[in-house]
Structure 1
Amino acid sequence: MTDKELQQVIEKALANHGPHYEGDERLLTDYMEHWLESKHGIDISQKTYENYEGRYRNYIKPFFQGKVMTAVKVDDVDDFVKYLLTTGVTKGTVHDIVRVLSIAYNDAMKREVVPKNPCKYARLPKIKKKSTRPAISEGEVKALYEAAKGHRHWIAIPLLLMTGMRKGELLALQWSDLWQDANGHWYIHIDKEVSSTKANVIEYHTKTEESCRDVAIPDGLYSLLMDYKENTQGAGFTFIIAQQKVDKWVSSRNFDKEFASWREKAGIKGKITIHSFRHTFATMAVMLNMPTEAIKKQAGWTSGRMVEYYTDSVQSMPLKAQCAKAMGEQMTHIFS
């Protein structure tokens, strides 16, 4: 056999069998368990880990037990989706479960454990777009602020409104996170959050890479913070939202109770939550014609699509009329 013929035989063999991958022998369940533990406490929060681990343990593991990674095909994922739906799992939860499986496969692809992700072209059930919680109106903000004024943590209302930060980020804030640049502008550095789980711990990483950020704050908010520190909280505290007798952060659950009491005192009966302030921040910023990129960076979102998602379409409706008016004035000469 000549060298050329030998090369042709080798190329044909490779074409028939393809390259070898670790996933040819490695069980999907083994990989996912190692993957979950390796991410735990490093680049996913405790709450996210619990969500992923629950989806894996209750649904993915029982169905794919004994399957090697590369043996899982698109049809297998389709069958998995059908199985979940027949057992009464909601369409939204099916999407969440397959998303966890897909994230694990994407990780395996990056590590060259498998050649492709079988979830990529799987058929998922159509679900209705989730309705977003409405933004808080100006009147409701005023009522909440008045209700919180007599409380030790009243500063939370202006902080949430003017920064759009998440609840966990707010509760983890320390006075040392405040800093001023050379031009005299004040910022709040966000690089941690209080877990919303029962563990009540500070997680020294944020929800996403973009969530680790420096939020610019107006001078008025800085003045409120200083007034709060001097006249409400007092000296000797590390955390801005601190416990009264101990220099420690307030748990997520206790802060939820505080907010519920302010909401009740303010007479607000709608679906207003602490997270509603992020919708309000996005809505106000859009209505003030702030650039999407600036809003995204302030709030720590991964993409501009999140700005649109968080914007209250009802409150921002006047922007459409404003756009129509401007377009009409610009184009009148064409159709006159």
Structure 2
Amino acid sequence: MRRFYLHKRGSVFYAELITTAGVKLNARSTGKKTRDEALLVVADWLKEGLPVVKQPGYLAGTESSKSKPISVVADRAGILSAIKKAVLERDDAFAIVAALRAKGLIDIPVVATGKGNVKFIDYLKEFWDYEKSPYVRDKLAHGHSIGRHHCTLNHGRVVNYWEPFFKDRALNTITRQDIKTFSLGLSDTGRSPSTINGIMVLGTSALSYAAQEGYIPLDPCKGIARFSGKPAKRGILTEKEAEAIFNLDWAEKRAYLANKVAATTGMRAGEILALRREDIGEQSLHIRHSYSRLDGLKTPKNGDERKAPLYPEIKTELLALVDEAETLHGKGAYIFYSLTNEKPCQDDLILDGLHDAIKKLNEKFEKEGRELEKIDWKARNIVFHSWRHYWAARMSDRMTAEQLTRITGHKSRAVFDQYADHITEDNIKEVSNVGREVFGGILKFPEPKGA
């Protein structure tokens, strides 16, 4: 039986080899311009196998060449021929490419049809659209918490970071290497590790969900490492600074009282904004809700109600403010009211109030020649949430971590769940007694004169 055919294309001879099973392989160049030289190359192929990679200085039959037996190449040709002729379903295609990936021959397959054949960026935008996202519906249906603010933040990050890089790419063409290149590009911009991880996780979550739901056969982000590094530390005011700030006349009483509540209870901004008259107890504040601009009224972070200590001085101020709110909006009004009955004031008001108070204190220091005592809140990263850290820092020397987590709602879930249902008025009184010593300098100051 004939083993090969030799013919010339241009000035170079090509050979078509025939296997012992009678399968004719695709023609390949011998690289030779004379018939005799070409015959020597073909003879070498029949003996040693077909070359896979030609390395510099390649000579037929030398150890510098890599080759495969003709039967193996014939098997591959047969496989390719069978695939071309076969009637394949989408699952069959997935099985084929999964086998290729298992051999390390490809990264992630490309599927020409199906749910994965959509623009990647359009998929991401819908994934983080609170109203349209099947992912959000799944989370909510299974009792998990996911807020509009979180979705809106990630939707914005899709537009700002993912879209300029991936542009019109299809979902089913995104590879592991694409994700790595994108993440390294973010790293080169000098952004903090926590910021980069926040940008990355919105995409990795979406791609993981796409693989889980069968939009794409494999998750290209599986095993992608997160960037390590500590997030920017939130600054806190010193005890003397806090006392000096609350000893000022604030321009806005709601901002003054909200900051005072945060400093003496460790409550979050949204939890304070959500307070109503029914949340004011004898010795404690009942933290049943949180409020955000996008989500409206919702459960507190981590989903658990809790209590925080309420000092008589602050209770008096809260009751006075809620009287004012209910005079304006009627029963059930938010204590930290806005001009609209349906929602409290914006969180900007209470944060701006804090920064305005710091500015006023700095001006006071400047007049008194105390320049070195001025507070650079931007450099120190002092925000409203800093009061939560301030409270914990002031109380941590006097109480155990267990006692503090009962009040703050931090979850360390295994620890918190053991005690969350057992926060009694005695516990609150215990914390309140310690707090009175710690925050006495804040509590003694009078209500500001501003309206």
**Pair 1:217-2:308 in alignment:** yes
> How far is the alpha carbon of 1:101 from its aligned partner?
0.7
Corresponding residue for 1:90? 191
- Give matches, 1:91-170, under 5 Å: 92=193, 93-109=195-211, 111-114=213-216, 116-122=218-224, 128-147=229-248, 152-153=253-254, 154-170=256-272
Paired AA for residue 282 in structure 1: A
Matched position secondary structure for 2:262: helix
CA deviations 1:232-261 (Å, max 9, x no partner) are: 563525222235x77562222232332223
3-state SS of 1:90 partner: coil
Contact kept in structure 2, 1:40 and 1:46, CA below 8 Å: no
Whole-angstrom distance in 2 between the partners of 1:83 and 1:189: 43
Asked whether the 8 Å contact 2:274–2:344 carries over to 1, the reply is: yes
1:26-79 Cα distance to aligned partner (Å, 9 max, x none)? 543332222111368975545433431222123323433444444423212112
Distance in 2 (alpha carbons) for counterparts of 1:29 and 1:146: 52
Task: Please name the residue that 2:448 is paired with.
Answer: none
**Distance 1:233-1:263 versus aligned 2 partners, 3 A rule:** farther
- Tell me whether 253-262 or 149-158 shows the greater mean CA deviation: 149-158
3-state secondary structure, aligned to 2:245: helix
For normalisation by structure 2, the TM-score amounts to 0.51
Q: CA RMSD in A?
A: 4.1
- Give the alignment's TM-score, normalised by structure 1: 0.65
Choose between structure 1 and 2: higher helix proportion.
Answer: 1
Specify whether residues 227 and 150 from structure 1 end up closer, same or farther in structure 2 by C-alpha distance, changes over 3 A only.
farther
Aligned length: 280
Instruction: Using the TM superposition, give the Cα deviation of residue 297 of structure 1 relative to its aligned residue in structure 2, in angstroms.
Output: 5.5
Rg comparison, structure with higher value: 2
Instruction: Tell me the residue number matched to 2:96.
Output: 16
**1:61-116: CA deviations, max 9, x gaps?**
34334444444232121122344456x47354543321221122244355454465
Instruction: Give 3-state SS (helix, strand or coil) of 2:178's partner.
Output: helix
Correspondent of 1:259 among 351, 354, 364? 354
Q: Cα offset for 1:266? A: 4.1
Q: Highest relative contact order (Cα 8 Å, sep 6+), 1 or 2? A: 1
CA-to-aligned-CA distance 1:3-42 (integer Å, 9 cap, x gap) = xxxxxxxx99875355999654454333222211136897
Q: Is the 8 A contact 1:72 1:118 kept in 2?
A: yes
In the other structure, the counterpart of 1:203 is: 296
The 1-side partners of 2:244 and 2:320 are apart by: 22
Aligned pair 1:234/2:323, yes or no?
Answer: yes
Cα offset, 1:203, TM superposition: 1.9
Please list, as runs of the form range in 1=range in 2, the aligned pairs for 1:162-311 lying within 5 A after superposition.
162-176=264-278, 178=279, 186-195=284-293, 203-205=296-298, 208=301, 210=302, 212-218=303-309, 220-221=310-311, 223-231=312-320, 234-235=323-324, 236=326, 238-243=333-338, 249-267=344-362, 269-271=375-377, 272-292=382-402, 295-296=404-405, 298-303=407-412
Residue type of the alignment partner of 1:242: Y
Structure 2: 5+ residue stretches without partners:
1-90, 100-110, 137-144, 328-332, 363-373, 417-451
> Percent identical across equivalent pairs?
18
* Matched AA of 2:298: H
Asked whether the equivalents of residues 124 and 206 of structure 2 are also in contact (C-alpha less than 8 Å), the reply is yes
Runs of 5+ in structure 1 lacking a partner? 1-10, 196-200, 308-336
Q: For residues 151 and 127 of structure 2, what CA distance do their matches in structure 1 show?
A: 11
Aligned to 1:53: 155
Q: Determine if contact 2:148/2:295 at 8 Å carries over to the other structure.
A: no
Distance 2:170 2:157 in 1: 19
Alignment-mate amino acid for residue 305 of structure 2: D
